A and B are shown apart, each in its own frame.
Chain A
Amino acid sequence: MAVSLKRTPLYQEHLSLGARMVPFAGWEMPLQYTGIIEEHHAVRREAGLFDISHMARIFVTGPAAFDLLQRTVTRDLSRVEIGQSAYALACNEEGGILDDLYVYHSGPEEYVVIGNAANRDRDFGWLAAQKRAGEPVEVIDRSDELGMVAFQGPKAPALLQSIVETDILSIPRHGCGYVDILGYRCFIGRTGYTGEDGFEVLVPVEGAVALWRRILNLDVRPCGLGARDTLRLEAALMLYGNDIDLTTNPYEAGLGWVVNLDKGPFIGRDVLAAIKARGASRRLVCFEMFERGDIARPGYPIYHDGREVGRVTSGGPSPTLGKNIGMGYVPVDLAVVGTRLDIKIRDRFGPAQVVRRPFYRSPSLGG
């Protein structure tokens, strides 16, 4: 079978930097440049730059942009002013999670919705389908017109400020706005998927390479999807397709805070309200392994008292903590810090215990 993978505007840059390229959600993406652990530490200690041009970037514009999104996503967007953003979920009528999204209130009558690469077409179709006849709103997939990088780490904001003329350091966490960078009109958000301070930058495709090179020239390390995954896991951020999907609901995933049932009608609200009232039967927990040689991987069965109680959804070594960590769904009565679990690692069991979520809080985010 010949699978043709898509390439981001930075593809040639990755090759010339010697990146190891891998298929990811239909894209040919850099897994690592020098090594996952080195790249991971760079982001925790200083700064690192990721190509995330594979992400879905959908613009919702027009007088009814707010109305359309407010009845589609779980978060109350009436509290999200221009220049602010919010993590949100798109759920279906059954309360299953279609995608986790970042919704940026980018300007008057304009929102930028960032979704997962694997869900791009579905996200676009879902949002477009919510438009009512004659409603003054447009849903536009601009993913192909824009490059996107994530510049993350405690030093990233000051370094980005050094190449931007307008003040960006006063942008608060989750703030956003349009700024000129290297002569290109960019949209930036003080957000990310690493558990560190930093910015995500949307740049017109023709400026992507210039921006990428300019930031790397600040003595910044390029980082791949491998480090992106270890960083987000330490911060216990969800990976769609692993930790959450159509079969999981927000409450069991610990994302109840993203669901504002009192905001008025939105897709899935009735079912979600019922789930909340009933109480979730299982919970996504964070666990750590006791032994260095025991590494939990997605799909490994979770046992308690000799019986299988769930599956690992994400897991691996934590370079920052020097421990092996993971997440998985277990019955609510076991979702208590300190509960002993046994992870079935191939032909043996590795002891683990439930720990507080997240695993790691960065000082750069006041942790």
Chain B
Amino acid sequence: MIPEDRKYTREHEWVKVENGVAVVGITDYAQRELGDVVFVNLPAAGTRVKQFERFGEIESVKAVSDLYAPVSGEVIEVNPRLGSEPELVNRSPYEEGWMLRVRLEDPAELDNLLTAEEYRQHIGEG
């Protein structure tokens, strides 16, 4: 199930825009590929992230992977629960496992991202 209410990067992040705020996380496909997530290294609130640039890293038992920002803007909030419960990324990648809230700078950037249908094809589930 790939939610239709958001857009996706080729690197398996999702972004959902609510009232000018972009909520960012990784997809269910990504969490399955990673396996058990044990740590998520995220930027502090106030940091500026840039579209398609690295904003953090995610450690699973087996490997470490980079996280890429789907949009540019200032980080307003980091999911406070991920510090003690990184497994939320596995359990609820599209809801409770969200990572950042970013003040969206340029809504036109969303056009650079994949739709749910395009992402489905990208991961070969089309």
Contacts and interface: CB of A to CB of B under 8 A. Distances in A.
Nearest to B41: A293
B61 A36 contact: yes
A36 B62 contact: yes
Nearest to B61: A36
A316 B35 contact: no
**Residue among A31, A37, A230 facing the most chain B CB atoms (10 A cut-off):** A37
Contacts of A32: 35
Contacts of B35: 20, 31-32, 35-36, 226
B64 A36 contact: no
Interface string A316-348: 110100000000000000000000000000100
A343 B64 CA distance: 15
Contacts of A295: 38-39, 59, 64
A79 interface: no
A317 B90 CA distance: 17
**Residue among B39, B59, B61 facing the most chain A CB atoms (10 A cut-off):** B61
A319 B38 CA distance: 9
Contacts of B41: 293
**A interface secondary structure, majority:** mixed
A132 interface: no
Nearest to A291: B39
Nearest to A32: B35
Given A36-B35, A37-B36, A226-B35, A293 B59 contact: yes
Given A36-B35, A295-B64, 16 more contacts: A20-B32, A31-B35, A35-B36, A36-B36, A37-B38, A37-B61, A230-B61, A292-B39, A293-B41, A293-B59, A295-B39, A297-B63, A316-B62, A317-B38, A346-B57, A346-B64
22 contacts: A20-B35, A31-B62, A35-B36, A36-B36, A36-B61, A37-B36, A37-B61, A38-B36, A226-B61, A292-B39, A293-B39, A293-B41, A293-B59, A295-B38, A297-B63, A297-B64, A316-B61, A316-B62, A317-B38, A317-B59, A317-B61, A346-B64
Interface of B: 32, 35-36, 38-39, 41, 57, 59, 61-64, 90
Sort A-B residue pairs by CB-CB distance and give the 9 closest, nearest first: A36-B61, A37-B36, A317-B38, A293-B39, A295-B59, A35-B36, A36-B36, A293-B41, A317-B61
